[in-house]
Amino acid sequence: MQLQQLQQGAGGLSQEQLTQLQQLASGLSPVQLAWVSGYLAAFANQGAAGQSPAEDQPPSSSLTILYGSQTGNSRSLASALAQQAQSQGRVVKLVSMADYKPRQLKEEQQLLVLVSTHGEGDPPDDAMALHKFLHSARAPKLPQLSYSVLALGDSSYDNFCQTGLEFDQRLHQLGARRLLERADCDVDFEDTAAQWQAQVLERLATVSPATGAAVASAPPAQASGYSRSTPFESSLLLSQKITGRGSVKDTRHVELSLEGSGLSYQPGDALGVWMSNDPELVEALLRLLALEGEQQVEVKDQTLSLRQALTDHYELTLLHPALVGAWAEFSGSEALAAIVADRDQLKTFIGQHQLIDLAQRYPASVDAEALLATLRKLTPRLYSIASSQAEVDEEVHLTVALVEEERDGHVRQGTVSGAFAHRLQEGDGVRVYVEANDNFRLPCDDTTPVIMIGPGTGVAPFRAFLQERDARGAQGQNWLFFGNPTFTEDFLYQLEWQGYVKSGLLTHISLAFSRDQQQKIYVQDRIREQGAELYQWLQRGAHLYLCGDANHMAADVEQALIDVVAQHGGFSIEAAQDYLSELRSSKRYQKDVY
């Protein structure tokens, strides 16, 4: 009825204009109609006919939000921030740094940057080009720009939030003004991020009142409604060991049901898994610290028992520098204090111990409140998805390596991997959500060749890639590099790869089993051996993918790729590095390393 009344009034439109408008509206989706509605409202608010929105819109009303994300956290926070800003009537442009044209910076008036730090202080892949541009002589002066930076990182690394720090400092050097001081987030980032978001929106409202015309440019939320903060309770279908009895590794193929969730994912995405701590670990910790499990404590405005708080809300298996430092004070241990004072020693120590090791080796008297104040909040673990929904429908598959070590006569296990290997039974619930990874995608053109490098559990997403390409009937050639300790015990998904070779889907499979001969052979050795053909594939337009360990493997493989390009392309090492950088910029070289 309302639509008919509007059409009858026509707002002064001619019949021809009204017909054109109706034809346009009939071809638009609801999301597109919402965008057009906001656009026209902004246009109408100008108060002067004949001017374009770009000419008449006050610059202060337009807000650009840029994000650079390796695992999806910055992207998720940026999307939530965009939606909040839009709800306040602000015109918002939300853009991945990978899709942003750097020279647009000189046109921006208000900018919010959310960016993570990857590895030892590096920008995430999608932020590299913008980061490089900003730190080059081509970067423009930005006196017109007001900005603020939210930096995400991990204080276990020396260069904590380094990329956010560099963006913040460089924008300031170029003449931009800070709306709000940079906020640095650790791995349990939610509280710090929420505080920064509230403060920066409040600051924007003070210096730049919204026009009341919101343009919806943020991506829609996950249709299912499930996310990191509201995970889906999936059901465990299978946790099967796929390494042999004699293997030095325990690697599991895990299948989970997504039935009824509406969750969808693409090859290259990750699955976030929330897992409570092992109840036996919690009890052992309570005994060592002589704490009463039923003691009541406050956690996020809830009153819980200490036992429940430690089980469901706090990180017990991953240490961080502040915790080790606090424990040195609690225990009065000079030996532990000496470790804390040596950054290299501390880094090694953190990677080899858990909280219960601290409690056992460095006895301390600590009350419940002081203990919880030193602990990080429990966070989900991300796993590369090892399946395509074209193949498995309402299931999701993972490839999970058990994290397990023996210390002081006790077995220490990872929170999630230990649960999949030993604690969970078929039918048990597992809280999950999908973390999209647009920086690790198959080429749209199914005729494009693909080179996949995935030793160990790094092979997981390539199982999804090949399932997807098989389902699509993709004609592009596929080449897989895989490595592990031994052929007989560690050839993950062997029968599947052999089936793909037989069908012709997998053109080449290059294997490196490091312990099957006297001299160890790794995937980077196979890359060099077959460098001539690999370079030819790249010259033919192949997309290159790397997944797996970031600490050692990724750097070794990248050096091998540089050597191959230099040798077979006739480049200098510097030119070969530029060649790979160009592949990365054009999204033909994508990494998922952890």
Residues 457 and 330 in one domain: no
Q: Is the residue at 7 inside a domain?
A: no
| 268 and 405, same domain (yes or no) | yes
Which of 335, 353, 374 lies at the terminal end of a domain, its last residue? 374
Same domain, 297 and 420: no
Q: How confident is the model at residue 22, as a pLDDT?
A: 57
Tens-of-pLDDT digits for all 594 residues of the chain? 444 444 444 445 555 565 556 555 555 444 344 444 444 444 443 333 333 333 333 344 589 999 998 888 899 999 999 999 998 889 999 999 988 999 899 999 999 999 999 877 889 888 999 999 999 999 999 999 999 999 999 988 888 999 999 999 999 999 999 999 999 999 989 999 999 999 999 999 888 876 654 444 444 445 568 999 999 999 999 999 999 999 999 999 999 999 999 999 999 999 999 999 999 999 999 999 999 999 999 998 899 999 999 999 999 999 999 999 999 999 999 999 999 999 999 999 999 999 999 999 999 999 999 999 999 999 999 999 999 999 999 999 999 999 999 988 889 999 999 999 999 999 999 999 999 998 899 999 999 999 999 999 999 999 999 999 999 999 999 999 999 999 999 999 999 999 999 999 999 999 999 999 999 999 999 999 999 999 999 999 999 999 999 888 999 999 999 999 999 999 999 999 999 999 998 999 999 998
Range of the domain at 262: 236-272+382-435
Which residues are 150's β-sheet partners? Answer: 114, 183
Asked whether residue 243 is assigned to any structural domain, the reply reads: yes
- Is 158 in the same domain as 285? no
How many structural domains comprise the chain? 4
The pLDDT of residue 118: 82
Q: Is residue 157 part of a domain?
A: yes
> What does the DSSP assignment read for 282-328?
HHHHHHHHT--TT-EEEETTEEEEHHHHHHHTB--S---HHHHHHHH
Residue 215 included in any domain: no
pLDDT value, residue 52: 36
In-domain check, residue 346 = yes
Q: Phi/psi zone of residue 290: left (φ > 0), alpha (ψ -120 to 50 degrees), beta? A: left
Same structural domain, 286 and 261: no
Span 232-260, pLDDT tens digits: 999 999 999 999 999 999 999 999 999 99
- Let me know if residue 217 belongs to a domain: no
Q: What is the CATH number of the domain that holds 175?
A: 3.40.50.360
Stated pTM of the model: 0.84
Closest Cα to residue 453, out of 378, 525, 532? 525
Q: Are residues 268 and 285 in the same domain?
A: no
Same domain as 351, residue 393:
no
Same domain, residue pair 186 and 101: yes
Domain membership flag for residue 441: no
What's the count of helices (H) and strands (E) in the chain, helices before strands? 24, 21
* Rounded (10°) CA dihedral 156, 160, 161, 165: 180
Nearest to 435 by CA among 382, 374, 514, 491: 382
Q: What is the per-residue pLDDT for 41?
A: 41
Q: Give domain status of residue 219, yes or no.
A: no
Question: Are 159 and 195 in a shared domain?
Answer: yes
- So what's the pLDDT on residue 165? 97
- Cα-flanking dihedrals φ and ψ of residue 245, to 5°? -60, -35
- CATH (domain of 543): 3.40.50.80
Residues 424, 509: one domain?
Answer: no
What is the CATH classification number for the domain harbouring 307? 1.20.990.10
Residues 136 and 173 in one domain: yes
Looking at the structure, tell me whether residues 290 and 183 fall in a common domain.
no
In angstroms, the CA 127 to CA 96 distance is: 8
pLDDT in tens, 148-167: 999 999 988 888 999 999 99
